Amino acid sequence: MSHLSSPPPKHKGEHKGHGLPRGSERGSSSRDKDRSVTVSSSGPMPAGGKGSRTNCSPSTPQKVPNRLINEKSPYLLQHAYNPVDWYPWGQEAFDKARKENKPIFLSVGYSTCHWCHMMEEESFQNEEIGRLLSEDFVSVKVDREERPDVDKVYMTFVQPFVGGTYFPPEDGLTRVGFRTVLLRIREQWKQNKNTLLENSQRVTAALLARSEISMGDRQLPPSGATMNSRCFQQLDEGYDEEYGGFAEAPKFPTPVILSFLFSYWLSHRLTQDGSRAQQMALHTLKMMANGGIRDHVGQGFHRYSTDRQWHIPHFEKMLYDQAQLAVAYSQAFQISGDEFYSDVARGILQYVARNLSHRSGGFCSAEDADSPPERGMQPKEGAFYVWTVKEVQQLLSEPVPGATEPLTSGQLLMKHYGLTEAGNISPSQDPKGELHGRNVLTVRYSLELTAARFGLDVEAVRTLLNTGLEKLFQARKHRPRPHLDSKMLASWNGLMVSGFAVTGAVLGLERLINYATNGAKFLKRHMFDMASGRLMRTCYAGSGGTVEHSNPPCWGFLEDYAFVVRGLLDLYEASQESSWLEWALRLQDAQDRLFWDSRGGGYFCSEAELGAGLPLRLKDDQDGAEPSANSVSAHNLLRLHGFTGHKDWMDKCVSLLTAFSERLRRVPVALPEMVRALSAHQQTLKQIVICGDPQAKDTKALLQCVHSIYIPNKVLILANGDPSSFLSRQLPFLSTLRRLEDRATAYVCENQACSIPITEPCELRKLLHQ
């Protein structure tokens, strides 16, 4: 998205506790578009946007790079050969805007965004538009994944001047062209600058007042039971009975909603609403996994579906989606016992390990939606993922024995996955006609129906389809791959540590837990500054498997700390390595020091220092494609209190939930992950303690029993009998728990009152299911 705006004012103080409520939307495709805005030159700018193309080098040798060539961000490097005098975000650009009395054009995007590529190709590579941007504006490029604070603030401030998500270069029948927009803004700036500045300042003041999230006079958060019920009812009203999900189109996976529904089911198991919540979540996950939003050939999920049926995706693949969906499908397996869900979870992590993992142990951010159909051709959306009938027939021409009619394995696969000669993509979903005659694989029939249609055995059909998909996968390796955004973010790596740790623990797969361990080691080695105790936001894949950093480093935001702490807590429970728990405590202390609002409660999204060029510090108040960092922090504080007994963390959790009271009461569906934390806080957290040798079979059997059951409101502790161990020092009552007859023994404790000792996994299972 691109935005025009004024240079940020120089603030003597700082604004605290501001977060603009954005309604109850549960995902928006605006992240995919190149939003554009402009504002005045002494008030704050509006903004947020995306724009770029996948080639990072000039298309013709004579092109001269602009100053973005010196940046590390893949997104900024994609714009290094535009005929635009781009500046990275920073004081140099702001000083120039003040000195030359020009508005700032702020374009915020990320490197794998399809609409960003469109905007760059159509407008930012245009010489005339480049001249306009360079002569009449100060043009600033921001990678919104490096600086989420800039994106959030200026999306809030879009109102004072001009903003948009995508502009074609020239005027059309239904929309104004980008060149016209720039000319009009230039004219307004010359003719009405003072009025624009006054309006900007008025709107700024109103937004500052309106966006505050604070405890005020409230002492306690609202009722968890009431918020739980209202959140469920709001989701129930928007639920798609036929295809699952919670909107018409576009449809986003939104794992936070599925997580809420599973939690709601657990606390309402014996009620009709509880059964309904479970059915809504499981059906949504099944329909997504059968749809084209899932890559049936190479695994992993695309970012969203452009239609109600989950059929035609926006083809970009994001790390944060894979991380959260792996957990959601693992939880679905815990709850249902259906291996369909565990197979999907394994497939997601197989994709991440193969395509997004870096040699250092870290995980790259995303794969692009666009790629060239053949080498040397212009990139097209979805080219890597779609198939023609002819391609499939040529690859899978062998006959299927035993069928009731002549049948090749290609015909079997095409029937099952809905491929047609004309293509299965509607022209309305392909406005440029790039995908004509091509197909997205989407499961049309159950294995049983496909088998019955051709008189085949179900297992034979399963084998034939899997063999066919593997041949397509091998053939697809010869296509040009989509661009990989090799930037590594602490926050998304934290989510991915959780994804591997939780799935590995649930499925009992040590190799998955090892990926989580290597991810945590990467974070500590490459994204943690020992001297200051701070996390870095980003690092980058260098040549030869090396890791590079920007200079100066980009320091972490609240979400980096919150998501990494969650990952470390999940990794401790999966691996029982207490060093990860110790580091989680240190990071939580740093988070409290850097982001806590001691006056209003809750956490700001950014450090005070990092936000020096911004007009306010926000508190994110929406669980969307990613959970709000405050929602995750509420859970982390509860779990840390369970692991340590430190009262300060419970007090902070209460203050945080109280600060968000008004938002929770007004639109609980906007914060399902925080509603879950509120419910957990008002119930009793279980401390499940296993006393035993971590390497012994009986200890592992009890641990696996716990991992196999869906218990979100718990901490799992291994007590090895050493009173000097880290956890024994935190929770002195652990030293009173003994092994029974020298066997591994489990205790389920609440408020430091523990159950009778249990040595049999089946008995522990019964107790945990109560």
Cα dihedral sign, 457-461-463-467: positive
Provide the pLDDT for residue 651: 96
Q: Please answer whether residues 536 and 564 qualify as being in contact, where contact means their C-beta atoms are separated by less than 8 angstroms.
A: no
Cα dihedral sign, 582-588-589-591: positive
Tokens in use for 266? 């657990």
Report pTM. 0.90
Q: How far apart (Å, rounded) are the C-alpha atoms in residues 605 and 491?
A: 12
Provide the pLDDT for residue 164: 73
Q: Is the peptide bond before 761 cis (omega within 30 degrees of 0)?
A: no
Q: Tell me: the pLDDT tens digits for 701-716? A: 999 999 999 999 999 9
Write down the H helix ranges in 596-628.
Answer: none
Give the side-chain half-sphere CA count within 13 A for 429: 24
Provide the pLDDT for residue 35: 47
Tokens in use for 689? 């303690």
Give Rg (Cα) of the chain: 27
Provide the pLDDT for residue 9: 40
Q: Please answer whether residues 147 and 47 qualify as being in contact, where contact means their C-beta atoms are separated by less than 8 angstroms.
A: no
Helix (H) or strand (E) holding 206: helix 193-210
Provide the pLDDT for residue 45: 33
Q: Please answer whether residues 767 and 748 qualify as being in contact, where contact means their C-beta atoms are separated by less than 8 angstroms.
A: yes
Q: Please answer whether residues 533 and 590 qualify as being in contact, where contact means their C-beta atoms are separated by less than 8 angstroms.
A: yes
Phi, psi of 69 (to 5 degrees): -60, -20
Please give the full DSSP string across 364-425, using - where no structure is assigned: --EE-SEE-SSTTSPPEETTTT-B-HHHHHHHS-SB-TT-SS--BHHHHHHHHHT--TT-SS
Q: How far apart (Å, rounded) are the C-alpha atoms in residues 523 and 443?
A: 38
Q: Please answer whether residues 29 and 250 qualify as being in contact, where contact means their C-beta atoms are separated by less than 8 angstroms.
A: yes
Q: Please answer whether residues 749 and 691 qualify as being in contact, where contact means their C-beta atoms are separated by less than 8 angstroms.
A: no
Residue type, 559: E
Burial status of residue 700 (CB atoms within 10 A of its CB: 0-12, 13-18, 19 or more): middle
Q: Please answer whether residues 627 and 675 qualify as being in contact, where contact means their C-beta atoms are separated by less than 8 angstroms.
A: no
C-alpha closest to that of 321 among 278, 366, 382: 366
Residue type, 450: T
Provide the pLDDT for residue 162: 63
Q: How far apart (Å, rounded) are the C-alpha atoms in residues 701 and 696?
A: 9
Pairing, β 484-485 against β 366-367: antiparallel
Give the chain's count of helices (H) and strands (E): 27, 21
Provide the pLDDT for residue 210: 65
- Residues forming beta bridges with residue 4, ordered by sequence position: 105, 162
Q: How far apart (Å, rounded) are the C-alpha atoms in residues 316 and 205?
A: 38
Provide the pLDDT for residue 25: 31
Q: Tell me: the pLDDT tens digits for 233-263? A: 999 999 999 999 998 889 999 999 999 999 9
Q: How far apart (Å, rounded) are the C-alpha atoms in residues 158 and 402?
A: 64
Q: What's the order of all strands across the beta sheet hosting 686-691? A: 714-719, 686-691, 745-750, 753-754
| Parts of the chain with a pLDDT under 70 | 1-62, 157-162, 210, 610-613
CB neighbourhood size of 21 (10 A): 15
